[in-house]
């Protein structure tokens, strides 16, 4: 089956995210409830979730969420994985009957560890690099197979349908995570392909996004410069890769990475003090191709927490709230109030200013600067 038309995906969407900064795991019910409130923002053509802290028993293994819609695909994937990886555990992803969900693909997950001698490994490559290569290879070259997610102790659940139905289908009320992301999709090109739903994941990055990246063409070519191949033609995909490039590969602090994606205007830079100006200027000059232009609100999940970012002119809605140890971020206030009726603080995200929900354990030093 053709995965997508060979054209860029454009969609309006609902997004929601909840993180316990204390690292306390909670069931998927809350996120399902939150995203369901924004039913009108989806069209039933895609919904999905990401959870972090799902698999404590396999916390050190890469958890691959895979889908297959070709009978021959699983075998090919298995053969490819065998080149570099030891499969520690493999199982179907449990599902349940859900209204409006039909013809799901084959859904499996496997937990893998790198082989001591990985055949495709280059001298400087890390395990993560190889996992990226693996996931991208499967997505690009193995027909009928698609990697939903490839991080550790996390997973992405998504498919064609309204997000609340997808949640039921994947029995998310039975999982616990300290960070949940959800996405309801309103695509303007209609394809009923489960791989095309969101979140999009790579390693432990999971991205949900509402918007239209008008700079997509150059963002994509910019990433190609660094070896990323964008097979899905989605904004979410480039956002994910950009986070991976900037933070994981180039070791930019989160704050600086957000400055790259949604930089201040030159007129603002001109009014900064010398040190800040030099920083902002350098980032803009070097990372022009990474600037995300056009309307967007994105939520990016990672092992360390969640970051929300609006485009620099704030052309898409995004609301945040805090209560107890939790940070809630959603496209609409109602989606927060549905699960947190009485937040301590509630505010609208500012254009270009990231909001960070940092999970205390194992926090990156970088995140400390943005609070």
Partner 1 sequence: MRPWLIQPEFEIERDLDRCIRCQVCVRQCANDAHEYDSEDDVVSAHSIRCVGCHRCATLCPTDAIRIKQAELDFRSHACWTPSVIRNIYKQAESGGILLSGMGNDRPYRNYWDRMVLNAAQVTNPSIDPLREPMELTTFLGRKPDKVEVAPTRGGLALKTVLAPQLELALPIMFSAMSYGSISLNASLALARAAYEEGTFANSGEGGLHKSIYPYADAMIVQVASGRFGVNVDYLNRSAAVEIKIGQGAKPGIGGHLPGEKVDAAVSETRMIPENSDALSPAPHHDIYSIEDLKQLIYAIKEAIRYAKPVCVKIAAVHNVAAIASGCVRAGADIVAIDGFRGGTGAAPTMIRDNVGIPIELALAAVDERLREEGIRNRASIVVAGGMRCSADVVKAIALGADAVYIGSAALIAMGCHMCQKCYTGKCNWGIATQDPYLTKRLNPEVAERRLRNLLRSWGLEIKEMLGGMGVNAIESLRGNREHLRGVGLSDSELRALGIKQAGVGA
- State the residues that interact with partner 1 by CB under 8 A: 5, 7-12, 188-189, 211-212, 214-218, 220-222, 224-226, 233, 250-253, 255-256, 263, 265-267, 275, 278-279, 282-289, 291, 293-295, 312-313, 315, 365-366, 368-369
Q: Are 111 and 61 in contact (CB under 8 A)?
A: yes
Q: Are 362 and 304 in contact (CB under 8 A)?
A: yes
Query: Least distance in Å: CB of 282 to partner 1?
Result: 6
Positions marked catalytic: 13
Q: Pick from 305, 371, 333: which is nearest to 16 by CA?
A: 333
Query: Least distance in Å: CB of 293 to partner 1?
Result: 4
Closer CB to partner 1, residue 170 or residue 287? 287
Closer CB to partner 1, residue 49 or residue 216? 216
Query: Least distance in Å: CB of 301 to partner 1?
Result: 22
Closer CB to partner 1, residue 233 or residue 322? 233
Strand 154-159 and strand 106-114: pairing? unpaired
Query: Least distance in Å: CB of 37 to partner 1?
Result: 23
Closer CB to partner 1, residue 114 or residue 187? 187
Query: Least distance in Å: CB of 295 to partner 1?
Result: 5
Nearest-angstrom CA–CA distance, 358 and 307: 8
Closer CB to partner 1, residue 4 or residue 346? 4
Strand, helix or coil for residue 18: strand
Nearest-angstrom CA–CA distance, 229 and 220: 8
Strand 200-202 and strand 179-187: pairing? unpaired
Nearest-angstrom CA–CA distance, 206 and 287: 22
């Amino acid at each position: 089956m053709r995965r997508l038309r060979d054209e860029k995906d454009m969609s309006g969407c609902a997004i929601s995210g909840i993180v316990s900064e204390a690292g306390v795991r909670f069931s998927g019910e809350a996120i399902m409830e939150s995203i369901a409130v924004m039913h009108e923002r989806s069209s039933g053509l895609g919904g999905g979730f990401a959870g972090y802290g799902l698999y404590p028993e396999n916390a050190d293994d890469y958890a691959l969420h895979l889908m297959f819609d070709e009978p021959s695909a699983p075998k090919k994937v298995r053969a490819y994985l065998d080149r570099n990886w030891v499969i520690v555990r493999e199982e179907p992803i449990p599902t349940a009957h859900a209204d409006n969900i039909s013809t799901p693909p084959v859904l499996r997950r496997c937990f893998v560890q790198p082989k001591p001698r990985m055949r495709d490994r280059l001298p400087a490559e890390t395990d993560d690099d190889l996992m990226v290569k693996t996931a991208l290879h499967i997505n690009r070259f193995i027909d009928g197979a698609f990697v939903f997610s490839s991080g550790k102790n996390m997973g992405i659940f998504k498919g064609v349908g309204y997000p609340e139905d997808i949640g039921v289908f994947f029995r998310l009320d039975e999982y616990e995570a300290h960070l949940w992301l959800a996405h309801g999709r309103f695509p303007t090109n209609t394809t009923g392909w489960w791989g095309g739903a969101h979140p999009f994941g790579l390693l432990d990055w999971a991205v949900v996004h509402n918007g239209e990246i008008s700079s997509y063409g150059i963002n994509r070519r910019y990433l190609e410069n660094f070896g990323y191949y964008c097979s899905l033609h989605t904004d979410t995909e480039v956002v994910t890769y950009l986070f991976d490039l900037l933070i994981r590969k180039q070791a930019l602090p989160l704050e600086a990475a957000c400055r790259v994606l949604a930089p201040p205007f030159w007129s603002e830079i001109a009014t900064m003090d010398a040190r800040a100006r030099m920083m902002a200027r350098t980032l803009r000059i070097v990372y022009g191709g990474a600037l995300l232009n056009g309307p967007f609100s994105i939520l990016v999940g990672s092992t360390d927490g969640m970051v929300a970012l609006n485009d620099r002119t704030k052309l898409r809605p995004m609301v945040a709230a805090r209560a107890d140890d939790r940070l809630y971020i959603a496209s609409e206030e109602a989606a927060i109030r549905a699960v947190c009726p009485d937040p301590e603080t509630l505010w609208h995200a500012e254009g270009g200013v990231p909001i960070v929900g940092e999970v205390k354990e194992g926090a990156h030093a970088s995140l400390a600067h943005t609070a």
